[in-house]
């Protein structure tokens, strides 16, 4: 006997596998062919538009780990001053450093950090899917917060030259802003959707 539909585990269908596999290939291909700047621009556009156009039942549980891991992995190549930008954008996976000792070897720590972060954000993705959180809301919040964080961090310096001298590249500002925006959009959408669902449930009980 099958259990209730809402208790079944997330289904990773062939369409989901095709989309995410293609997206992973796209990330690597863009960086090999188009170069960092163009590849990063297209990947950012992909992250924003996918929640609007891809509508499987289980979306965030797969999308968030992929997006976070891809951005964090690229961010490692543009970490900012003393790896500050990478650390800020990779907060979801840094807890693994409290569990295991990597003797200060950041290259050795990178794979566990990526795996830990992917696992962490997938939990929040599962919660978003369980609540059937609106994907366009997440996309709008992500884009707005990412742009705001980039502008705040980059243009807080008196000149472009000073900003680039501090952290080395535009990517060192863009990439942490993207993952920090992912956190904010996820938590805000989760909180807003949860409160909305709770209010509807309370209202339906009151009406009945």
Predicted pLDDT at 14: 57
Residues in the chain: 208
- The pLDDT tens digits for 24-49 are 666 666 665 655 666 666 667 767 77
Predicted pLDDT at 4: 43
What CA–CA distance (Å, rounded) separates 100 from 191? 32
- Taking the chain (208 residues) in consecutive chunks of 10 residues, what is each chunk's mean pLDDT? 43 58 64 61 70 74 89 89 90 91 84 94 94 91 94 93 91 93 96 90 76
Predicted pLDDT at 7: 42
What CA–CA distance (Å, rounded) separates 199 from 13? 33
* HSE-up of residue 138 (Cα within 13 Å, Cβ side): 27
Spatial contact of 176 and 89, defined as CB atoms under 8 Å apart: yes
Average pLDDT taken over every residue of the chain: 82
pTM over 0.85? The answer is no
Tokens 């709770």 belong to 198
What CA–CA distance (Å, rounded) separates 168 from 162? 10
């Amino acid at each position: 006997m099958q259990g209730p539909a809402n208790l079944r585990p997330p289904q990773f269908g062939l369409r989901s596998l095709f989309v995410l596999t293609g997206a992973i290939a796209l990330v690597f291909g863009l960086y090999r062919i188009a170069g960092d700047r163009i590849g990063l621009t297209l990947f950012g556009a992909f992250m924003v538009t996918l929640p609007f156009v891809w509508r499987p039942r289980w979306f965030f549980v797969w999308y968030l780990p992929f997006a976070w891991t891809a951005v964090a992995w690229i961010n490692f190549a543009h970490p900012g001053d003393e790896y500050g930008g990478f650390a800020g954008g990779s907060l979801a996976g840094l807890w693994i450093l409290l569990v295991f000792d990597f003797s200060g070897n950041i290259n050795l720590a990178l794979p566990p950090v990526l795996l830990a972060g992917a696992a962490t954000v997938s939990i929040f993705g599962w919660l978003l899917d369980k609540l059937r959180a609106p994907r366009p809301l997440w996309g709008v919040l992500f884009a707005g917060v990412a742009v705001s964080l980039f502008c705040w961090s980059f243009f807080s310096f008196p000149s472009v030259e000073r900003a680039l001298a501090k952290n080395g590249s535009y990517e060192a500002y863009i990439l942490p802003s993207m993952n920090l925006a992912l956190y904010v959009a996820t938590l805000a959408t989760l909180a807003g959707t949860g409160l909305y669902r709770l209010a509807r449930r309370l209202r339906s009980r009151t009406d009945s």
